[in-house]
Amino acid sequence: MLGCIQQRVLWLACRMIHEANQRSGGEVKVGGHQASSASMVSIMTALWFAHIGGEDKVAVKPHAAPVYHAIKYLTGELDRSALTTLRQQGGLQAYPSRTKDPDVADYSTGSVGLGAVAPLFSALTRRYLDTHFAPRPSARFIATVGDAELDEGNIWEAIADPATEGLANFTMVVDLNRQSLDRVIPDIQAVRLQRFFADAGWHVAEAKYGSRLTAAFAEPGGEALRAHIDAMSNEAYQSLFALEGDALRKKFLDRADAAVRGLADPLDDEALKTLVTDLGGHDLGLLIDTFAQCDAATDRPSVVFAYTIKGWGLPMAGDPMNHAALLTAEQIADFRAAVGLDVPSEWDRFEPDSPEGRWCGSVGGDINNLPSPSRPILPVPAAAGPALVEGTVSTQEAFGRTLTRLGSVDGVADRIVTTSPDVSISTNLGGWINKTGVYAPRERDDHGGAERLLKWAPSPSGQHIELGISEMNLFMLLGQLGLSHEHHGEQLLPIGAVYDPFVLRGLDAFIYGLYNGSRFVVVGTPSGVTLAPEGGAHQSTITPSVGAELPDLVYSEPAYAAEVDWLLCDALDRLGHPDGESSYLRLSTRPIDQRPFGQVLDRLGEVALRDLVLAGGYRLAEPHLTEPGVTLVTTGALVPEALAAHAELQAEGVASSVVHLTSPDRAFRSWQSANDVAIASAGRRRPPNHLQSIVPAEQRGWPVVSVHDGASHSLAWVGSALGTTQVCLGVDRFGESGTIADLYRLTGISCDHIVNAALMAAAPAD
């Protein structure tokens, strides 16, 4: 019965892809992966129809999306009308999608390697929740991955991290078809890969030979047959799939000894092919048993190496060039007939009262996904503490203080979980860790250092998850912590702290988390050339653009302690809102005099100033002169330079004002939506362009000088938003070690540079 179901799954997957390509107007190739889908069809049939239950979560190999949809159609979750919408706008996505497919995938996949470990970090999230809140029902986490995905280093970073140790409810199933996109992998060395997993403490299982081959191995000459198959190169073995009759026999028996020949001779051509291509990854019974074996390994994660055939059951089976190959119309017609369908019935489900129909119905009742309820709104305060108006403090210190204070807020404190790739102390998480402790599934020895300044003391109640130095792991974990409500029914407020330049090291995983609809806060600190003595290898320049340009993320760059407090509280609050998003705070270790902020606070009052800080920025210094001047626009650590330049310009008789963009991203977006034609033509009121609303009308025509401890391009839109000309100062070269003054001079963002740029900009054109 499962064999019959898997054949229908394969048919529907191929037909879906065929349909999508028929629709193509020839504009661009539509594509779809029939061979990659075929390779996974037995594994996925065994999983969904004989292994998983409703609580279990599975990441599907990106190129097997059609198989997933075919299964979800047969179990009743997906409507028939969806099957003809593959790769069409509003239809089924090319790769499994959590956020866009109607049969919501547990994990989006597409960038190979990430889906392979997303469920591992999900299992870690579950383990964390089980020790902090009421235990959830037990659940298994499974990743189905292509063998070439194992080339991606992020997989090895994930399995090597002690944080993922002992996650026995995770299983990775490797679709070992010995082919990638371009080639038959000459030496996949499955044994070596298996050793890597075993050395990381995993349970390693294999589904290598199907039951026919296993039976043949037990016969006289069987051992020789096994040795002969094992000794064949991947290319030679793979080529058997394209051969028939005598050609296959010749190829297979090339260099075979008498014992192997003795076994092959009595078999007719078809029987020989069936035997020698009988791989475990297409043996449903064996797969089901192997998955059960993995469940029985209750102290460590498991990996299954399932030997498969790319293009299994299709004319393109094993062809080295089959990755993007498509069945012809004629081959589709043959396939349809072979499944016992005709054109009117080709998209049908099984008859409901057939054994297959009954099985699909009963499985579907359990495993079909329900839409997840919206996230709860937690009582995050507007501020964690009183606004600081004097003294000198860096935004990084302010972050540490705010977080520690939030550790005393009821209903919020226990939901915060922090994580860092071995930089918790240097990103100022120390106070928070002292308060809440480090997380470990079991009590471990404290190693707070000789002075015991830091209470490290790993325990199940700790709220900081320390990772090794892998920024990919940081973002993979944040991505899964930020889906805690969707996957596990408990809302968490995840905060990750990382050196700002190394945000880029984890960028694909960062994007992956956002693309999955996850919600988390990233603190990139320290940042920029302001971290002067640390030198060029640690000085970030392009991260502001990453923050501003990524969808579903707000990037902010505060300068003052109260701004950090308000922005962090707002960021945590917005994690739960239906129209909310993730946040990225770019911070610095530069101590900053808080008095100028105190003056604005006196002038505007806390409520109004906070609103401006959250909306994107405010005017920090006003012109003392009445004649036309220059608007200085800055963000973050360069506020003191802008204020100093302002004072100098005033002294030289040039009027200037200083705008501090606490979130260049929000200010930019308000300008974008102010220009949004769709909003205007729908007759809705356009939101104000934030910059225009904070710069008085008579000053909007003043030239702008923008200055940023980041690439000059990142604020280059400000002049346009105000309708005026602009000079952009920023860091457009790699840095080096020095003092802050050295680095600002070197990179052209010092007070002098601002003054000179302003004088030039303000001078009447010749």
Ligand X SMILES: Cc1ncc(C[n+]2csc(CCOP(=O)(O)OP(=O)(O)O)c2C)c(N)n1
Judged by the rule CB under 6 A, the positions of this chain that interact with ligand X are 36, 39, 62-63, 111-112, 146-149, 175, 177, 179-181, 310, 323
Nearest-approach distance from CB 302 to Mg ion, in angstroms? 20
Which listed range, 139-147, 478-486, 568-576, 743-751, lies at the site for Mg ion (CB under 5 A)? 139-147
Task: Report what 462 binds from Mg ion, ligand X, none; CB cut-off 5-8 Å by kind.
Answer: none
Nearest-approach distance from CB 234 to ligand X, in angstroms? 12
Comparing CB distances to Mg ion, the nearer of 146 and 616 is: 146
Nearest-approach distance from CB 111 to ligand X, in angstroms? 4
Task: Report what 36 binds from ligand X, Mg ion, none; CB cut-off 5-8 Å by kind.
Answer: ligand X
Which listed range, 177-185, 350-358, 405-413, 565-573, lies at the site for Mg ion (CB under 5 A)? 177-185
Nearest-approach distance from CB 145 to ligand X, in angstroms? 7
Which listed range, 148-156, 271-279, 345-353, 724-732, lies at the site for Mg ion (CB under 5 A)? 148-156
Return all residues near 193 (Cβ < 8 A) that are at least 6 apart: 150, 174, 305
Using alpha carbons, select from 503, 524, 527, 539 the residue that is nearest to residue 738. 539
Token pair of 327 as six digits: 């069945």
Nearest-approach distance from CB 151 to ligand X, in angstroms? 8
Using alpha carbons, select from 647, 661, 654, 646 the residue that is nearest to residue 709. 661
Nearest-approach distance from CB 102 to ligand X, in angstroms? 23
Nearest-approach distance from CB 536 to ligand X, in angstroms? 28
Question: Site for Mg ion (CB under 5 A): which residue of 75, 179, 428, 480?
Answer: 179
Helix pair angle (561-574, 595-604), 10° resolution: 60
| C-alpha to C-alpha distance for 733 and 746, rounded to whole angstroms | 9
Task: Report what 37 binds from Mg ion, ligand X, none; CB cut-off 5-8 Å by kind.
Answer: none
Task: Report what 63 binds from ligand X, Mg ion, none; CB cut-off 5-8 Å by kind.
Answer: ligand X
| C-alpha to C-alpha distance for 628 and 634, rounded to whole angstroms | 20
Span between the terminal Cα atoms of the chain, in Å: 86
Comparing CB distances to ligand X, the nearer of 189 and 672 is: 189
CB 59 within 8 A of CB 111: no
Nearest-approach distance from CB 147 to Mg ion, in angstroms? 4
Comparing CB distances to Mg ion, the nearer of 121 and 307 is: 307
Comparing CB distances to ligand X, the nearer of 63 and 87 is: 63
DSSP code for 534:
G
Comparing CB distances to Mg ion, the nearer of 36 and 750 is: 36
Nearest-approach distance from CB 745 to ligand X, in angstroms? 41
Comparing CB distances to Mg ion, the nearer of 36 and 424 is: 36
Residues 231-260 binding Mg ion (CB under 5 A) are none
Nearest-approach distance from CB 542 to ligand X, in angstroms? 21
Q: Is 623 in the site for Mg ion (CB under 5 A)?
A: no
Question: Site for Mg ion (CB under 5 A): which residue of 96, 102, 146, 547?
Answer: 146
| C-alpha to C-alpha distance for 13 and 16, rounded to whole angstroms | 5
Nearest-approach distance from CB 733 to ligand X, in angstroms? 30
Comparing CB distances to ligand X, the nearer of 112 and 564 is: 112
Task: Report what 249 binds from ligand X, Mg ion, none; CB cut-off 5-8 Å by kind.
Answer: none
Nearest-approach distance from CB 214 to ligand X, in angstroms? 24
Q: Is 147 in the site for Mg ion (CB under 5 A)?
A: yes
- How many chain residues bind Mg ion (CB under 5 A)? 5
CB 572 within 8 A of CB 380: yes
Please name the residue ranges forming H helices in 561-701: 561-574, 595-604, 606-615, 639-651, 664-674, 677-681, 690-694
Q: Is 712 in the site for Mg ion (CB under 5 A)?
A: no
Nearest-approach distance from CB 619 to Mg ion, in angstroms? 58
CA distances, 355 to each of 67, 72, 76, 346, 368 (Å):
21, 18, 15, 19, 19
What x/- string results for residues 96 through 135 when contact with Mg ion is judged by CB under 5 A?
A: ----------------------------------------
Comparing CB distances to ligand X, the nearer of 107 and 399 is: 107
Token pair of 195 as six digits: 């050793």
Comparing CB distances to Mg ion, the nearer of 173 and 654 is: 173
Comparing CB distances to Mg ion, the nearer of 147 and 641 is: 147
Beta-bridged to residue 485, according to DSSP, are none
CB 375 within 8 A of CB 519: yes
Token pair of 18 as six digits: 């065929």
| C-alpha to C-alpha distance for 387 and 222, rounded to whole angstroms | 79
Which listed range, 169-177, 236-244, 326-334, 393-401, lies at the site for Mg ion (CB under 5 A)? 169-177
| C-alpha to C-alpha distance for 463 and 459, rounded to whole angstroms | 9
Residues 682-707 as b or e (16 or more Cβ within 10 Å = b): eeeeebebbbbebbeeebeebbbbbb
| C-alpha to C-alpha distance for 361 and 344, rounded to whole angstroms | 22
Task: Report what 111 binds from Mg ion, ligand X, none; CB cut-off 5-8 Å by kind.
Answer: ligand X
| C-alpha to C-alpha distance for 718 and 706, rounded to whole angstroms | 8
Give me the residue whose beta carbon is nearest to ligand X: 146
Comparing CB distances to ligand X, the nearer of 148 and 387 is: 148
Comparing CB distances to ligand X, the nearer of 64 and 568 is: 64
Using alpha carbons, select from 538, 471, 474, 553 the residue that is nearest to residue 501. 538
Q: How many CB atoms lie within 10 A of CB 302?
A: 25
| C-alpha to C-alpha distance for 67 and 14, rounded to whole angstroms | 9
Task: Report what 616 binds from ligand X, Mg ion, none; CB cut-off 5-8 Å by kind.
Answer: none
Comparing CB distances to ligand X, the nearer of 38 and 569 is: 38
Nearest-approach distance from CB 501 to ligand X, in angstroms? 22
Task: Report what 2 binds from Mg ion, ligand X, none; CB cut-off 5-8 Å by kind.
Answer: none
Nearest-approach distance from CB 282 to Mg ion, in angstroms? 14
Nearest-approach distance from CB 325 to ligand X, in angstroms? 11
Strands (E), 386-492: 392-393, 416-421, 464-467
Comparing CB distances to Mg ion, the nearer of 281 and 596 is: 281
Using alpha carbons, select from 270, 233, 266, 310 the residue that is nearest to residue 41. 310
Comparing CB distances to ligand X, the nearer of 310 and 401 is: 310
| C-alpha to C-alpha distance for 161 and 291, rounded to whole angstroms | 24
Q: Is 641 in the site for Mg ion (CB under 5 A)?
A: no
Length of the chain: 766
CB 132 within 8 A of CB 413: no
Say how far residue 245 (Cα) sits from the centre of its chain. Answer: 48
Q: Is 177 in the site for Mg ion (CB under 5 A)?
A: yes
Q: How many CB atoms lie within 10 A of CB 329?
A: 10
> 685: phi > 0 → left, psi -120 to 50 → alpha, else beta; which?
beta
Q: Is the dihedral of CA 23, 28, 30, 31 positive or negative?
A: positive
CB 431 within 8 A of CB 403: yes
Task: Report what 247 binds from ligand X, Mg ion, none; CB cut-off 5-8 Å by kind.
Answer: none
Comparing CB distances to Mg ion, the nearer of 182 and 422 is: 182
How much is the CA Rg of the chain, to the nearest whole Å? 30
Task: Report what 494 binds from Mg ion, ligand X, none; CB cut-off 5-8 Å by kind.
Answer: none
| C-alpha to C-alpha distance for 513 and 483, rounded to whole angstroms | 9
Task: Report what 427 binds from ligand X, Mg ion, none; CB cut-off 5-8 Å by kind.
Answer: none
DSSP code for 344:
G
Using alpha carbons, select from 170, 162, 143 the residue that is nearest to residue 200. 162
Name the site residues for Mg ion (rule: CB under 5 A): 146-148, 177, 179
